[in-house]
Amino acid sequence: MVVMRGGYSRRLVQRLRQALIGLGSVRVKLLLPCFVLFMLVVVAGRAANFMGWRHKPLKQGSLPLGKGYTILINTWKRNDLLKQSVEHYSSCSGLHSIHIVWSEPDPPTDSLRGFLHHVLQLKSINGREVDLHFDINQEDSLNNRFKVIKDLETDAIFSIDDDVVFPCPTVEFAYSVWQSAPDTMVGFVPRMHWLDKTKEDEMYYAYGGWWSVWWMGTYSMVLSKAAFFHRKYLDMYTNQMPASIRDYVTRNRNCEDIAMSFLVANATGAPPIWVQGKIFEIGSTGISSLQGHSERRSQCVNRFVIEYGHMPLVESSVKAVDSRRRWFW
Ligand SMILES: *[C@@H]1O[C@H](CO)[C@@H](O)[C@H](O)[C@H]1NC(C)=O
């Protein structure tokens, strides 16, 4: 009996071996890891199901927790970009209304208004259409983008330039970050400042762009070209901030975003929050590509420090990341 069994299993092993040789050992070597990987994915999927681990959107329905946010678009003579921008954001579920800051000498044309309203009609969810307002300004000043909006219905403002576009999930994620820190500026474009040691005799601050942040990993501002903030800061910017700062911004046609960062930092004593996110630039001619940009920005920082009597900006190295979109911890 024992001998017979041994013979049987030996024959089985031999047959298996032949079958393997027949398949070709190279192919087995390739297929086996694939098979193991496949099984792992299947098992992991089952486990996720079993434990109730499902990716779900953070909020359901057309308007999420809170009342949603208002998008404040700053545009200037780039109607094609404005159309693209409105078309894109109108499908974001947390969006309550859109305000377009209009500072051109001519009012928006009927065809532009018609086009935008048509877009919003097409994208309306459950019959709820996003409100669209043009905020028309007589004079052309960068301070216009922070004017108080009378019929504003949300606390959250998402301030953007017309030439940057963020995917809706990215915007909604930043909104959820802002909801947990509504006094803070929450944005996608970090900038930093530091004390310039090369100028020994005076306290001179330098302004650092993207590369400085990338190198140092710290920041002290997020730019209003892509940031969430509370609507109360519009009132503070327009009515409480020293008029000399607004005059400086108007004269120099620059630095309204740095002024806003100073204002929020002075009010909270805390740094802003940088949110990681994909940025798509749809236009490429900004003032930041001009020569001497960094030097002019540094001058703004130093001017505002004099106005405040101290440096209000606070450094941080915190970066908010959507953990649903990370593979590794
Ligand atoms: C900075 O904040 C302080 C304290 O809240 C306030 O009294 C002061 O007016 C602010 N400074 C400016 C220039 O707004």
Which two three-digit tokens encode residue 32? 């086996």
Let me know: does 172 contact 59? Beta carbons within 8 Å.
yes
pLDDT of amino acid 20: 58
Q: Is the pLDDT of residue 316 over 70?
A: yes
Using alpha carbons, list the distances in angstroms from residue 95 to 67, 71, 106: 9, 7, 28
Mutate to test the pocket of ligand 1, among 236, 244, 266, 311 (most ligand atoms within 8 A of CB): 266
In angstroms, rounded to a whole number, what is the distance separating the alpha carbons of residues 25 and 316? 56
C-alpha distances (whole Å) from 201 to each of 83, 197, 265 are 51, 9, 27
Residue with structure tokens 């959507």? 322
Percent of the chain with pLDDT over 70: 82
**CATH architecture, domain defined by 69-323:** Alpha-Beta Complex (3.90)
pLDDT in the model for residue 63: 52
Look at residue 72 and tell me whether its pLDDT is greater than 90. Answer: yes
More confident residue, 44 or 160: 160
For the cut 50, the answer to whether the pLDDT of residue 208 exceeds it is yes
Q: pLDDT value at position 299?
A: 94
Cα–Cα distance measured from residue 140 to residue 101, given in angstroms and rounded to the nearest whole number: 11
Q: Is pLDDT above 90 for 32?
A: no
CA of 227 to the centre of ligand 1 (A): 22
Residue nearest to atom 14 of ligand 1 (CA): 241
CB 259 within 8 A of CB 241: yes
CA of 127 to the centre of ligand 1 (A): 45
Q: Quick one: tokens of 117?
A: 């309203």
Q: Is a pLDDT exceeding 80 seen at residue 301?
A: yes
In sequence order, what are the residues at sequence separation of 6 or more whose Cβ sits closer than 8 angstroms to the Cβ of residue 200?
A: none
What is the per-residue pLDDT for 83? 92
pLDDT at 259 over 50: yes
Q: For residue 31, what pLDDT band results from cuts at 50, 70 and 90?
A: confident
Q: Which atom of ligand 1 is nearest to the CA of 312?
A: 1
Closest residue by CA, ligand 1 atom 5: 267
**pLDDT value at position 104?**
87
**Residues framing ligand 1 (Cβ under 6 A):** 241-242, 266, 308
Averaged confidence pLDDT in the chain:
85
> pTM of the prediction?
0.81
Contact 112, 79 (CB under 8 A): yes
Quick one: tokens of 238?
Answer: 């327009």
Mean pLDDT for 53-71 is: 66
Q: Which of 10-24, 110-124, 126-140, 229-243 tops mean pLDDT?
A: 229-243
CB atoms within 10 A of CB 184: 21
Distance, CA 239 to ligand 1 centroid (Å)? 13
Q: Which atom of ligand 1 is nearest to the CA of 242?
A: 13
Does residue 54 register a pLDDT over 70? no
Q: Using the mean position of ligand 1's atoms as its centre, give its distance from the Cα of residue 88 in Å.
A: 38
Q: Among all residues, which ones are annotated catalytic?
A: 257
Closest residue to atom 11 of ligand 1, CA basis: 308
More confident residue, 50 or 217: 217
Alpha carbon of residue 250 to chain centroid: 27
CA distance linking residue 187 with residue 115, whole number of Å: 29
In our burial notation (b when 16+ CB lie closer than 10 A, e otherwise), range 110-149 reads eebeebbeebbeebeeeeeebebbbbeeeeebbbbbbbeb
Q: Write out pLDDT tens, residues 147-177.
A: 999 889 999 999 999 988 999 999 999 999 9
User: Is residue 142 a contact partner of residue 256, using CB atoms and an 8 Å limit?
Assistant: yes
